[in-house]
């Protein structure tokens, strides 16, 4: 886990000093088990440090993340689930004030119950619909929320922690937005999940049925809003993201009295993830625990499907032990081979059969969120492996991701099984995750 005491004390120092300080924070994130001086480790460290592809891809990531916060060339919106995954690398090439400014609108559009939007764009009266959210605090913007998912609140808490950790700017927590401070609004966001999206029978939060970490339900198209057709379900990605958010919120709280409450909430979530979502016999996470029945045909064995993205986030959240992590990694590699795919960014294996999702982007197997190959999540598994001390595995898994970025000279949203780029070009989420992975690998190599 990231150190809560590694701060950059001077947010306005020049880029070279800022990057050096940022890498100190990266190095602090490495576990003791990742350090060593054995001959094998030294050889791997030299290989990582001399890898020209990693250096080039890292520089490409920095170049892309400089001067913009929208998700990619195919998205003009600033999304919190994306920004959360590139904010730390973006801070190396953008003034802290601009990053802080990109986070503030998420609080300006916060709902009265604490809910957080997905994203925002400049106001355009011609594009306002009944689903558009407006705010007197930000009249120059308009926002939206995909209610089938529940990672917006968790993503914002994580993003704010990363901003504070890297810049040392704790004044942001005291800034008042409307009549409430940022810190109070973060608490309200977490409490929204625990009051409006919490299932007391399982002690976990719920969402609509989706494909792993996706934001599309199968019952309709586009399938991004809860409605009468939705089937509520509990999944590992949502709850692991909340656990990560609570960990980060605890670091922001320090020794505040309410920290004990949040530690208890986190520990109960972790225990219930193991109790209800972990299939010990199959050594994998159950895709969904349904609260109102399944949207899929009778006889369909959904538990055959292995969710790669949710598993990676669960490992980052500390839900699996090291032996289980190694098994998860071996299973992902086997899935990639069996699917004839390119990387562990493969969202899941096997994919949902043809026609189970009405959204045309997901209706065919191995397309978009239904089994597409997303570096945005494969890179998080790489990060999880590094944090576990499995650096050789992490380096092996990142190489095909870095190779294809170099091959097409760009970051794409997702890739087909035959390694062809699809979706939004210049996808900042992929750039941020890969950039972070490379910095972690370089920091590990420096220790050797």
Domain parsing of the chain, residue ranges: 15-447
Are 346 and 307 in contact by the 8 Å Cβ rule? The answer is: no
pLDDT tens-digit series, residues 223-278? 999 999 999 999 999 999 999 999 999 999 999 999 999 999 999 999 999 999 99
Alpha carbons 313 and 229: distance in angstroms, whole number: 28
Alpha carbons 178 and 106: distance in angstroms, whole number: 12
pLDDT tens-digit series, residues 175-198? 999 999 999 999 999 999 999 999
Alpha carbons 61 and 435: distance in angstroms, whole number: 6
- Closest by alpha carbon to 435, among 56, 20, 15? 56
The answer on pLDDT for 9 being more than 50 is no
**Helix, strand, coil fractions of the chain, as percent rounded to 5:** 50, 10, 40
* Contacts (Cβ under 8 Å, ≥6 apart) of 187: 249, 258
The answer on pLDDT for 4 being more than 50 is no
Work out the average pLDDT over 3-26: 47
Q: What is the mean pLDDT of the chain?
A: 93
Alpha carbons 103 and 307: distance in angstroms, whole number: 30
Alpha carbons 313 and 377: distance in angstroms, whole number: 8
Residue 74 — very low, low, confident or very high, per pLDDT cuts 50/70/90? confident
pLDDT tens-digit series, residues 106-121? 999 999 999 999 999 9
In the numeric block, which tokens belong to residue 276?
A: 């209800």
State the alpha helices, DSSP H only, in 168-307.
171-174, 182-196, 236-253, 259-276
Give the per-residue pLDDT at 32: 52
- Residue whose structure tokens are 């064995």: 301
Contacts 24+ apart (CB under 8 A), 398-401: 398/54, 398/434, 398/437, 398/438, 398/441, 399/53, 400/342, 400/343, 401/343, 401/345, 401/375, 401/434
The answer on pLDDT for 36 being more than 50 is no
Give the per-residue pLDDT at 438: 98
What is the 8-class DSSP label of residue 424? E
The answer on pLDDT for 35 being more than 90 is no
Residue 20 — very low, low, confident or very high, per pLDDT cuts 50/70/90? low
- Closest by alpha carbon to 149, among 120, 127, 116, 182? 116
How far lies 331's CA from each of 283, 349, 371, in Å? 9, 10, 15
Residue 29 — very low, low, confident or very high, per pLDDT cuts 50/70/90? low
CATH architecture of 15-447: Alpha/alpha barrel (1.50)
Give me the percent of the chain exceeding a pLDDT of 70: 91
């Amino acid at each position: 886990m990231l150190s809560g005491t590694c701060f950059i004390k001077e947010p306005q120092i020049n880029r070279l000093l800022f990057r050096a300080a940022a890498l100190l924070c990266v190095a602090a994130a490495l576990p003791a088990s990742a350090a060593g001086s054995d001959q094998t480790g030294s050889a791997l460290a030299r290989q990582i440090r001399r890898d020209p592809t990693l250096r080039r891809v890292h520089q490409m990531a920095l170049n892309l993340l400089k001067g913009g916060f929208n998700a990619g060339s195919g998205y003009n919106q600033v999304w919190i689930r994306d920004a959360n995954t590139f904010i730390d690398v973006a801070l190396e090439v953008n003034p802290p004030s601009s990053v802080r400014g990109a986070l503030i609108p998420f609080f300006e559009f916060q709902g009265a119950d604490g809910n957080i939007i997905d994203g925002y764009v400049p106001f355009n009266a011609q594009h306002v619909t009944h689903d558009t959210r407006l705010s007197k605090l930000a009249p120059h913007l308009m926002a939206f929320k995909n209610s089938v998912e529940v990672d917006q609140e968790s993503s914002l808490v994580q993003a704010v922690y990363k901003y504070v950790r890297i810049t040392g700017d704790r004044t942001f927590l005291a800034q008042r937005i409307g009549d409430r401070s940022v810190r109070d609004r973060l608490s309200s966001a977490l409490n929204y999940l625990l009051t409006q999206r919490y299932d007391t029978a399982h002690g976990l939060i719920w969402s609509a049925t989706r494909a792993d970490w996706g934001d599309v339900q199968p019952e309709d198209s586009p399938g991004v809003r809860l409605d009468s057709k939705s089937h509520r379900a509990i999944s590992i990605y949502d709850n692991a993201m909340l656990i990560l958010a609570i960990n980060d919120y605890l670091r922001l709280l320090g020794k505040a009295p309410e920290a004990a409450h949040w530690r208890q909430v986190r520990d109960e979530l972790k225990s219930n993830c193991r109790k209800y979502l972990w299939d010990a016999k199959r050594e994998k996470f159950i895709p969904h625990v349904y609260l109102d029945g399944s949207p899929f045909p009778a006889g369909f064995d959904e538990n055959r499907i292995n969710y790669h993205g949710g598993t990676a986030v669960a490992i980052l959240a500390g839900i699996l032990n090291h032996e289980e992590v190694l098994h998860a990694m071996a299973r992902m590699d086997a899935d990639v081979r069996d699917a004839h795919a390119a990387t562990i960014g493969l969202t899941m294996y096997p994919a949902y059969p043809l026609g189970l999702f009405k959204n045309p982007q997901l209706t065919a197997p191995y397309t978009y969120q239904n089994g597409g190959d997303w570096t945005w999540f494969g890179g998080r598994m790489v990060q999880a492996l590094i944090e576990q001390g499995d650096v050789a595995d992490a380096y092996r898994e990142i190489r095909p991701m870095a190779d294809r970025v170099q091959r097409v000279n760009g970051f794409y949203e997702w890739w087909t099984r035959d390694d062809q780029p699809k979706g939004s070009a210049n996808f900042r989420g992929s750039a941020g995750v890969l950039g972070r992975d490379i910095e972690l690998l370089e920091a590990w190599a420096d220790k050797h």
